[in-house]
Every structure is written in structure tokens, then in C-alpha cells.
Structure 1
Amino acid sequence: MAMFTLNSSSGVSSPIGSPGGASMNSDVTIKVPFKQRTKIGIWNVRTMAQPGKIQNAIQEMRRIDLKILGISEMRWTGANHCDIEDFKVYYSGLPKKLEYGVGIIVHKSIAPKVRNFVPINERIMLIQMEAAPVNINILQVYAPTSDHTEEEINYFYTQIASITRKIPKKEVLIVMGDFNAKVGQGRTGNHIGPHGLGERNKQGDKLSSFAGENDLVIMNTFFELPPRRLYTWTSPQDGKKEGLIVRNQIDYVLINQRYRNSCKSAKTYPGADINSDHNLLVAEFRVQWKKLKTNQSNKPYDYRKLKNQDIKKRATEMLKKELEHIKNSPETDVKIDMINTAIKKVKTEVLVRDPTKKKSWMTTEILELMEERRMKKQHDKSGYKIINTEIRRKIREAKELELKEKCAEIEMAQRRYDSFNVHKKVREITGKLKKKTVGKLENEQGEIIIDINEIKETWKNYVEELFADQRNEHEIPNTMTGPDILVQEVEAAIRSMKDGKAPGPDEVQTEILKLLEENFIIELTNIYNNIYNSGIIPHHWLKSEFIVLPKKQGAKRCSDYRTISLMSHMLKLFLKIIHKRLYRICEEQVSPTQFGFMKGLGTRDALFSVQVLFQRCRDMNCNIFACFIDYQKAFDKVKHNKMMEVLQDSGMDGKDLRIIKNLYWNQSATIKINQENTDEIKILQGVRQGCIISPLIFNLYSEAIFQEALENMEEGILLNGKRVNNFRYADDTIIFADTAEGLQHLMDKVTNISRKYGLEVNISKTKSMIISKEKIEGVQLIINNKVVERVKTFTYLGTTLNEDWDHSQEIKCRIEKARSAFNNMSKLFKTHNLTVEMKMRLLRCYIFSILLYGVESWTLTEATTNRLEAFEMWIYRRILRISWMDRITNESVLQRMKKDKEIMHTIKRRKLEYLGHILLSTLRSRVRFPLGVDFSRKEKFVLGMACLSSFLSFFYLRFLGTKHLIL
């Protein structure tokens, strides 16, 4: 037991976790157990966006022995966390602009204690850490300056007050940062001490009110120190006139009243340097950190090691040895557990990722110059500026050298045909390797949820409500038909499984399953046959784990996130065999107007069909009234009883039906939030996320809806005596007719039948469009007594459709998207460290692929051709760093690039390849396109020449009941 006596107006420093009870103005001697001392810093660095700034901050943290550093004016975009050297950086900023922003840098010894990170906005963020006996919450802030409006300042204090009230009273709360406020000298109540600096201003009144109302104490006003240890900001006016000193105290550290005596000191370090006009403020606390158990399951594994034949051989032999007794186990569950155990052992002993330290561009020379600059900060301003200029020059050189080395690595990886590392290095250079932005979560009242348990409960309730339904037990026929699973089926399924997929709760990876030798594949086949013939699915296969990813920047509600299900790879392999059997049924029964999840078909086929049909109708003066349907969470609202009825009517084998029924009726899931899982949730509706057979089940389900809805319907476009009235890509649906009344009739029927099957039309996202040469006004489409918005343009499957059916608008959009992608990657394309050949490969991969999406259905004119070629030359000039003022011809540019123009050549080749794809498929039969319209001889000639000039834009359409090519 250690004895401490402290005679100061701050009282005795008790460790965090021991409620402070001593008077702030009395001399007290108490006994406290020795606890770890932790220094926490607060610093406005003006920006962390400059290269070298973060390394400078880390160097100062090491020198002063700071464990936690709160940053104001971080100026990093988005909200996330990353590892830099021995520190973890949490930050919260604006989505795109390099303005404002806050951050907290945590030493690696404390980083595991961070249980929760909540990025409120670009001025406020919170981290919650586990300590003993109570947890610690740190709220890092950056207040608006006095230049901002009163409303902005009041809103800032309202927000941090709201967060403060959500922190449990028994826990430690530290609020720190740049408040841009002067509380001044002189004591105010129990929350402001007598040792402030200067005179209070209006912002200081707001800070004082905030501290008093929320029972917080401003700790750096309670320690009697010289002024140089109190001021935190130096004004630009300081020292401009002789004797003029403008230095203020505007950065503060606040702690809740109960734990005020845990703060041992709070003072500034004027000698600390990061090229900022703010001084570093350091508060020292006594903290008892909680000891946490290491989670072995979070170990990173490197499955790419299996490309090394020696490692692969070792892993295979180890797997063989571990599974040699699997035949002696009669029970299926025991065999599966043996496989799981063997795979985990192989991963742990062979595939653990090597602890390689990421190479930094920062050099020892630059760090030494930063230290030299720091030494000159107080006494030699001219020398400080000279060294600062030298540091910036050295940083530029180091960054250029790093870029050169990474480009060399890209070239080397390309020569080895290592596409994985090529794309990885490209993402590193262009800054695209960052993880998804971390979001915050609000409840139904719009209040931010702070507590991790409350966050978990909110997610649990949301997912339960999303998948809740009144589901009855479904009886399946007693006729259990279905052929046994063959070894060849298992082998084919294993070969077709993709690598690099996240594992489910059992942590079994596909890459390891591919190491199984023939005798073990036979044993695996026996396991699958036991499951298939009994219908009993292992219980741990029925558990899924949901992870949540934000759909957009600034996600706040649960509905703004996308839930991704992680399921057992052993189950995926089993269902891949069922999928092959189910696909044959799906292919026979699903309408040709459905393009989603069908072999040999994709978005280009769907887009081409829409483009051809609508363009032809418009050319032949046939009006089209279309509705683009958006269903509310279509895949999550599939009714299980209806689904089983549909599958049963499809003629599926009884054993397959039983497997699907047991899979759906016995499934459960948990949601993983911040490495913690919620309680298990029953899934009572919706197709299984991440399941390989779900797309086919949904196709059959939606086919049942449209067959029932459109049966005996006469509305639509007449083609060869049959009516076509819809195109579908999974749930992305277009309904169309040649009259407004016909479309209304179709939509009424589709809406009602969809509701019967559990699918509701989202009126706010459903749009209508009229494609006609004439301007048709006064036509409204009504769904559920609400008017559907009529639009002039609509984005369908990534392509912009418009009522004039003019492809030039879509081409303009694609050019701008490609231009934006090029600008985002300009650092890579403008460097001299990559060969022109390598840049062209990257151009084709990252830029031209964006530009030419949907090119098969384009109708090109002279104007659009010129626009595409001009964009191609714009790219080449940027690559060669040629200004338009240099007056260099396109021919000279192409000579320097050592190539010819290729965009138009690529477009023609893509169209020809697509023509070959169709002619070699079952769609090679040709029919005419009768729309009942007569043309004059001149009109036929003009139309014929137009079709000839863009022949590949008018040759394909799949329609109801036929598979023909329309020319």
C-alpha cells in the first residue's frame, strides 16, 4: 500500500474507479493502492491530412509517454479506425471534405480495452473502454469558433449534453478537446477552478453552463501553474507588436465530479511540436485497466499460403493424419466435429498470418529533423521555418520513393500473373483499401445509442421484426424421392466453390476443404447422404451470423444498413449439390422474361432486351407506358408456407423438399456487433441470406406471383401473337403496356397478387415513364390509392433510361463516371514509375470497364462517337501530363503512347462478340418484328439503313414463351 500526500487546491488524486469525495480546497492525506498512471493528451493539430503529421504526433506521444491523444481538426474523411505502427487511430470526419474532424490515438497496450467507438459527427466522437472497477468513456470534441452562428454553437452543446446524459453515472466520463472558449480566471462553483487564464468570453459562458448542468469539472483550471503551462493557443497577433502577448486557454479536459480526484495533473507542454498554433495539453490520471482474455478465434489466417506447394503438402498431410480415424465414428455429428477440429488445427499450425510489420515511407532522417524543429520552436522562429521547409521537401521525396517502389511491385506482380497483389497494390496507392466507414446508430426517436448492450438489443429487435411472421408447420408429401449424392457431385461442387469467402460460425474455410483427398471425399459423400436421406441437418449448420454494413454514407438507422449472413461452408458445399438439381427445374419453369440468376444471362441481356423492344416500339410509333417496380425488402418478405407450396408444385424431389423445409423451419441467427454477438433470433420469413439456393427459390417464388397475376391478361406489347408485358432481373421489375389503361390494369393485378405472397410495392421508389414520340400529359398511375411519380429518366440496372430513349444521355453519364474514376486514380496514372503498357492494362480494368458498361445496347451516332474518342484522348493527355495549351496534336499523343485509338475498336469488338454469343446459343432463331405498322418505301429504306448502321443495337429480345432473336 502506497501513501500519497498532496497539498494543492486540486485535492488528492485517487485512482479512477474510486469515487472522489475530498474537498477541492482542503489538504487531505489518504491511503490509496498504487495504480497505473496514464497520460491523456489533447491537441488541436490544425490538420492530420498533411503527410507526416500522424507520424509526428506518434513521435511526440512516445517522447512524452502519452497512452491516449485526443485530436481536434483531424481533417480525415469518413469515420473509421486504422493501425499505424504501435497505435490505433479512431477518427470521425466529413464524408468528403477535409474540414473539422476529431480523432483519438490509442497505444496498442490500451487499444484492446476499447469496447465501443461511436462517431457522432465531424465535431464529436466517443470511445468506451473497459477498466476496473468501472468503465471509462472519452468524448473528444471540436467546438465551432465564434465565427459560426449562434444556432451552430448551441446545437454543438446540445449534442454533447445529450451524449453526456446517456453515460451511466457510475462510469467515468472525460470530455476533452478544443472548445474555442475562454472560461477566464477565477473560481465558479465547483466546476471551474481559480487558476484559469484571461477573461471569460461568451463561449466561456456556454462552456461553464454546460459543465455546471452536467456535473462536470474543468480540470485544467484547478492546478496552480505558471501561465506558460496554462495557455493552449497562440494568436496570429502574438508578438506582432512589441510587448503584445495574445495567448489564450481554449482547450480543456473535463471529468465528472464523482471522479475529479483521479486527475493528478493537467498542464500544457509548450515544447511539444507538430507545427500547430495550439499547445499540447496533458492530463495525468490513475487508471486500473481491466485484463482481457485474448480471443483466439480472431487470429488472422493467410490462405494464400496454400499456393506454396510445400505448405500445401504439409497442410494436406496434417489434415489426412487428423482424419484417419473418421471412418470409425458412426454418427454424422461426430464426423463433422472431427472435420471441424482437424481444419482448425491445420489453420492454427500452418496458416497463421506472419506478423510482418508494414513498411513505412517515413524515414529516420525526417523524424530527426522533426525533433530538431521542435528544439527551435521556442527560441528560433526563422530556424524553425527553414527546418519545416526541409521536412516538407524530404517528405515529398520519401512519398515519391514509396510510390516508385509500389509501382515496381505492381509490375513484378503482373509479370508473375499475380492479379490479387496487383489489385491490392492499386487500391493501396489510390486509397481504396480502407474498410467500410463505421457508422452510428439511432433509435426510433432519433437519439444516438451509446451503450453496446442497447445497440445489440436494438439490432436484435430490428431483425426479429424484419423476419417475424405467423408461420404454420408445413406438411410435405410422404413420397421421399431423390437420387443419392454421388462422389462426382461432391468433387464438382468442391471445385466450383470460390476461395476468399468469409467463414460461418464454425470457421471452416473452402480452401481447406479443397485439400481433402479422394478417400475423405468419399467419407464426406457418405455424411451428405446420411443428411440427405434422413433430412436431419446438423444443428450448428442451422446457425448463421449476421454482420452489418452501411448502405450509404451517414447511415443512422438499422434500415440504412445491409445485413450480410455468414454461414457454414460445409453447408454451402452440401447445398451446392442441391442447387444443381434445383436449377434444372428452375430453368424449365421460369419465364424467359426473368434474367436474374440464370446461366448464361446477365444484366447486359436484360438491358439489351429493354433497349431493343422500347426503341423499336418508339421507332414504329407504338407508345409504351412503363412502371419500374420496387419491392420493400423483397428477399426478406418471402412467406415460408407459400414458398414451400411453390416448390412443391414445381415437382421437386421429396428429399430436396424435406431438406429445404428443415433448413428454413429450424434456422436461427445472431448479429455480430463490435466483436460481440446478440442472442439467437428465429428467422420466420424471407429466403436465407448467403445461401446458394436462395436466388433460385426466389426466382420460382416470383414466377408464381407473375404467372398468377398475368394469367389470361391481354395487356402488353403484341409480339408474334403473344403479349409481352414485363422484364425482370431478380426483383428489379419493369411492367409495361401500350396503353395507360392497360398498365393500370396490370399494376392493380400485380400489386394485389404480390401482397398475397407477402411482397409490398414501395410507392416512394416505384416510378412510371412514358416512351413516346408525342408528349403525353395528364396520365397518372395509381397504386394503393397513391399516385406513382412519373419521371423523365430512371436508372435501371446501372443504366440511365429516358423517355426520349436517347442513348447520348447514357453515354454522357458513363463518360462522367469513368472520368470521376480516373481522377480518383490519377495518382497512379500520372506517375512516371509505371510503364505505358501497365497503365493501359489498368485503364482497361478500372476505367474502360466503367465507360463501356451496357455498350452492347448502345446506338451510336457521329456525335457520340466523337465524344467517346475525345474522352479517350483526354485520358491519354492526362497520363502523359500534356496540357491543352501545349498545342500537341492527337497523332503526336498516340505516337508517344505507342498505340492507336482503341475505344471504338473495343466497342465494335464487344458488339461482335455479343452477336456471336447469341448466334451460338439457343437464341439463334430469327423472326420478324410485326407491330402492325405500315411504312412507306422511303420510310422502310431510312429505317433499314439506320438498323444497318447500328446493326448490333437491334438484334436481340427474349419474350414470353419463345426464345427468338428479333431483327
Structure 2
Amino acid sequence: MTGKGRELADMMERRKVDILCVQETRWKGSKARNIGGGFKLFYHGVERKRNGVGIILKEQLVKSVLDVKRVSDRIMSLKLEVDGVILNVVSSYAPQVGCQLEDKEEFWSKMDEEVDGVPRKDRLMIGADFNGHVGEGNRGDEEVLGMYGVKDRNAEGQMVVDFAKRMEMAVVNMYFQKREEHRVIYKSGGRCTQVDYILSRRCHLKEIGDCKVLPGESVARQHRVVVCRMRVETKKRKRVKTEPMIRWWKLKEEDGCRQFREKLQQALGGSEELPEDWETAAKVVRETGKNVLGVSSGQRKEDKESWWWNEEVQESIQKKKAAKKKWDNQRDEGSRQEYCEASRIVKRMVAKAKAQAYDELYERLDSKEGVKDFYCLAKQRDRAGKDVQEVRLIKDRE
């Protein structure tokens, strides 16, 4: 994930992806952080540069989080309340083919436990790198699979099918007829396979409108992004009205204070004394404040973590994306080297942009504005690191 957060946010914004499950984040810790564009990453990892899972939410869903469960460095989940509907999202990363059987059994045991703990009435979606080949066709497994997989099934793929049967889940990827380029998820050394899957409850499969691979994205070197479109019938919620606020803090500025004093004196007919009637005095002060200082929208200012993002970084990412597309089409050594070099350039550009932005911030620390910016950034990061930002529901006593 290092250096890729803003790139993922950019992809989600362009592709209109609301929720993204990520694996192999390789970050140590159990935190949440803004990755830019209003998107927030919830992640969990035990060892640096090994395993790790996460879930990214768009800005409008961040306040909908009710609970975060970090089961292991291979499994985590979020519970959200979206317009009266409870949605549980699980991100998981299964042990690779060469891992010990005990590790695989422990992983699937924890997955069973996690899914069993989700009430049947709740929506449940799993986005996972299961490191298994389910294969093409569905003979004997029609209740959990569609027809449209890739190549043959292996032992790890059978574990995915068995899990889906136990939990009454459906492997969403398999139900939509697509050309192979929109089904192949993992490409390496001439091998084309399908190891990443999206699962939903069988009873909610009708809510899935489409599922496919995005071959043109370059956010991962070998894995491709799998997306599905889900339409849930929600309950209409009453919107909470927000009240605009007068920008009284501008009175701290010399120019704002002077203009306010002059306009207030004019409103009072040249007098420096306020009317004795409180309601009249308050009305005059408020009207003058609105006209001179202006009003805010009433909405809380959203945290902007990607303040270091610039045009050079954006251009380098576009070049990387073009190189990835060229490599996918040609699959030769020259195009692979070109893509690897483009990836290295993006990492350098991101590191350079961040370092430059921080240097500029440190230089401004001697000024009043610089100190203010520093404390605002610290406050934003503290707020962004919290899993649940506001209480949405209160559980009944059990």
C-alpha cells in the first residue's frame, strides 16, 4: 500500500467505486487513515511487509460505520448502516498454495466464525484474495457457482466452494458472462488465473447487477481490480438540516474587525451605543456580521490528507497506467521493463511531493499561519485515525 493510497482513491473516484477490499497491504498496525479524495482506509496488519488487509470507503460512507472487527492479519470486517440497511463487508486474504495445511484450516475456521456472527437479516459482502482456482463450469455446485470461471479447479478452489456451501454464499464473479479479459484476475509468467472473488448471500444475489474485472487499471502489478454493482432497497431517512454559521472568527483579523466596527456604527446611525432592547441589538449585530464576515455552509470541513498531491504526480500515474495497458496487450520483456520503470517513477514522485510539502510546512512554522496549519493537520489526522466517528445506532439490551 505504500505510495499507492492516493492512486487507489483516484481509481475509485473515476470508476465510481464506493467500497474497496484490499489485501497484502503489508502495513503494521490497526488504524484508519485518509488516503485522499475523501476516501478512508481501515486496515490491520501484524508484521511489516507481510500479509495485511484493509477496506476503503468513500467519503459519504465513512460516517455510516458502526463497528470495525480486526480478526487477524488475514481477515477484517466493517459494519455499516446505509439508509436503514445494515451492510457487513469482509476483506480476507487466504494462505497461498505453498502454506501449511494447518494455516489454511485456521483461516477457514475464522472465516466460518466471522460469517456465522452476522445476523441473517443483514447484508453481507466478502471481497477476498482466496488464492484458489474455482475453475470454469458449475456441475454439482449450481447453488453457489455460475458457469463463467477460468480454467481448472485446484484444492484451494475447492475450499472456496465448500465455504460458500457451508455459509449459503454465492461466488458473484461466476454468474456474469464476460469475455476472458474481463474474467482473468491474476497474470504472471504467461499464466492467467482467477484467485480474487466477491461473495454475497445467495438470497441477496438478485441485488447484484453486474460483476467484472477492470483490465485497464494499474494499481497492482499482477492482480486486477474486480468490481460488482449492488443495488439495495433502502429506507428513506429524514435529512438533518444544517444551519449556516456567521464567520465570527474573522474578527481576529485586523481588517475584518475594522470593517465590522465601521459597518456596525453605520447601522446604528453613527452611534457607538447599542440599542437598549436586546432583540433589536442582537438583530443589528447578526445582520452586520452576515454582510461583513459572511456565513459558512454549516457542514463540517472534511479532512484533506492528500494536500501534497500535485500535477506531476498525477501525470506520472497516467503514464504508469498507459504502460500497464501496453504490457497487458503485448506481454513482452520490453513492455514489462517499461511498466516497471513507470512504477518506480511514480513511487519516487510521490515520495518527492510529500517531502516537498512537509518542508514547506516546516518553513512556515515560524509564522502564525504555519502553526495554525500544523495544528489543523494534526487534528485532522487524529480524527481520521478513529474507526467510528459518530454513534448511529444503539444496541438493545440482550
- Per the normalisation by structure 1, the TM-score is 0.33
CA distances 1:635-667 after superposition (whole Å, capped 9, x unpaired): xxxxxxxxxxxxxxxxxxxxxxxxxxxxxxxxx
Distance 1:204 1:216 in 2: 15
SS of 2:72's equivalent?
coil
Q: Say if 2:391 is the partner of 1:674.
A: yes
SS of 1:66's equivalent?
coil
In structure 2, the partner of 1:397 is: 352
The alpha carbon displacement at 1:215 in A equals 0.2
**Which runs of structure 2 are paired with 1:118-197 in the superposition (5 Å)?**
118-131=69-82, 134-187=85-138, 188-197=141-150
Q: Residue type matched to 2:193 in 1?
A: N
The alpha carbon displacement at 1:259 in A equals 1.1
Distance 2:275 2:10 in 1: 50
Flag the 1:420–1:295 CA change in 2: closer, same or farther, 3 A.
same
Q: Is the 8 A contact 2:76 2:92 kept in 1?
A: yes
The alpha carbon displacement at 1:157 in A equals 1.6
Q: Is the 8 A contact 1:79 1:438 kept in 2?
A: no
Q: Say if 2:312 is the partner of 1:361.
A: no
The alpha carbon displacement at 1:97 in A equals 2.9
CA distances 1:833-873 after superposition (whole Å, capped 9, x unpaired): xxxxxxxxxxxxxxxxxxxxxxxxxxxxxxxxxxxxxxxxx
**Which runs of structure 2 are paired with 1:550-569 in the superposition (5 Å)?**
none
Q: Say if 2:215 is the partner of 1:270.
A: yes
The alpha carbon displacement at 1:178 in A equals 0.7
Q: Is the 8 A contact 1:74 1:91 kept in 2?
A: no
Q: Residue type matched to 2:169 in 1?
A: L
Q: Is the 8 A contact 1:70 1:103 kept in 2?
A: yes
Q: Is the 8 A contact 2:247 2:296 kept in 1?
A: no
The alpha carbon displacement at 1:211 in A equals 0.6
**Which runs of structure 2 are paired with 1:434-833 in the superposition (5 Å)?**
438=387, 674-676=391-393
Q: Say if 2:180 is the partner of 1:222.
A: no
In structure 1, the partner of 2:340 is: 385
Aligned with residue 409 of structure 1, among 364, 368, 372? 364
Aligned with residue 64 of structure 1, among 15, 18, 23? 15
Q: Is the 8 A contact 1:195 1:221 kept in 2?
A: yes
CA distances 1:353-408 after superposition (whole Å, capped 9, x unpaired): 88487462122232222222222322332332333333233223322321221111
Distance 1:192 1:279 in 2: 21
Q: Residue type matched to 1:168 in 2?
A: P
Q: Say if 2:322 is the partner of 1:375.
A: yes
Flag the 1:86–1:291 CA change in 2: closer, same or farther, 3 A.
farther
Distance 1:390 1:435 in 2: 29
Distance 1:321 1:211 in 2: 75
Flag the 1:200–1:322 CA change in 2: closer, same or farther, 3 A.
farther
Report which stretch shifted further, 395-404 or 382-391: 382-391
The alpha carbon displacement at 1:314 in A equals 7.3
Distance 1:322 1:67 in 2: 55
The alpha carbon displacement at 1:246 in A equals 1.4
Q: Is the 8 A contact 2:33 2:385 kept in 1?
A: no
Q: Say if 2:239 is the partner of 1:286.
A: no
Flag the 1:420–1:391 CA change in 2: closer, same or farther, 3 A.
closer
Higher strand proportion: 2
Q: Residue type matched to 1:249 in 2?
A: Q
Q: Is the 8 A contact 2:245 2:295 kept in 1?
A: no
CA distances 1:546-569 after superposition (whole Å, capped 9, x unpaired): xxxxxxxxxxxxxxxxxxxxxxxx
The alpha carbon displacement at 1:79 in A equals 3.1
In structure 2, the partner of 1:249 is: 194
Q: Is the 8 A contact 1:91 1:119 kept in 2?
A: no
Q: Is the 8 A contact 2:130 2:197 kept in 1?
A: yes
Q: Residue type matched to 1:88 in 2?
A: F
Q: Is the 8 A contact 1:301 1:351 kept in 2?
A: no
CA distances 1:291-328 after superposition (whole Å, capped 9, x unpaired): 4445568999999767547569979x9xx999947xxx
Q: Is the 8 A contact 2:85 2:234 kept in 1?
A: no
Unaligned runs of 5+ in 1: 1-47, 239-244, 326-341, 440-671, 681-967
Sequence identity percentage: 21
- Per the normalisation by structure 2, the TM-score is 0.76
The alpha carbon displacement at 1:435 in A equals 5.6
**Which runs of structure 2 are paired with 1:804-883 in the superposition (5 Å)?**
none
CA distances 1:108-129 after superposition (whole Å, capped 9, x unpaired): 3444444443333332222233
**Which runs of structure 2 are paired with 1:280-359 in the superposition (5 Å)?**
280-295=225-240, 307-308=252-253, 324=278, 355=301, 358=304
Q: Residue type matched to 1:263 in 2?
A: I
SS of 1:120's equivalent?
strand
Q: Is the 8 A contact 1:219 1:253 kept in 2?
A: yes
Q: Residue type matched to 1:408 in 2?
A: E
SS of 2:313's equivalent?
helix
**Which runs of structure 2 are paired with 1:43-62 in the superposition (5 Å)?**
48-49=1-2, 51=3, 53-62=4-13
Q: How many residues align?
A: 363
Q: Is the 8 A contact 2:65 2:80 kept in 1?
A: yes
Distance 1:172 1:356 in 2: 28
Q: Is the 8 A contact 1:131 1:288 kept in 2?
A: no
Q: Is the 8 A contact 1:137 1:171 kept in 2?
A: yes
Distance 1:76 1:312 in 2: 52
In structure 2, the partner of 1:749 is: none
SS of 2:136's equivalent?
coil
SS of 2:88's equivalent?
strand
The alpha carbon displacement at 1:349 in A equals 6.2
Flag the 1:296–1:150 CA change in 2: closer, same or farther, 3 A.
farther
The alpha carbon displacement at 1:105 in A equals 2.2
Q: Residue type matched to 2:18 in 1?
A: K
The alpha carbon displacement at 1:270 in A equals 1.6
Distance 2:310 2:240 in 1: 34
**Which structure exhibits the higher relative contact order, with contacts defined as CA atoms closer than 8 Å and separated by 6 or more residues?**
2
In structure 1, the partner of 2:152 is: 199
SS of 1:396's equivalent?
helix
Flag the 1:127–1:313 CA change in 2: closer, same or farther, 3 A.
farther
Distance 1:133 1:85 in 2: 27
Based on CA coordinates, which of the two structures has the bigger radius of gyration?
Answer: 1
Unaligned runs of 5+ in 2: 265-273, 280-285
In structure 2, the partner of 1:810 is: none
Q: Is the 8 A contact 2:27 2:45 kept in 1?
A: yes
CA distances 1:12-44 after superposition (whole Å, capped 9, x unpaired): xxxxxxxxxxxxxxxxxxxxxxxxxxxxxxxxx
The alpha carbon displacement at 1:102 in A equals 2.0
Q: Say if 2:186 is the partner of 1:233.
A: yes
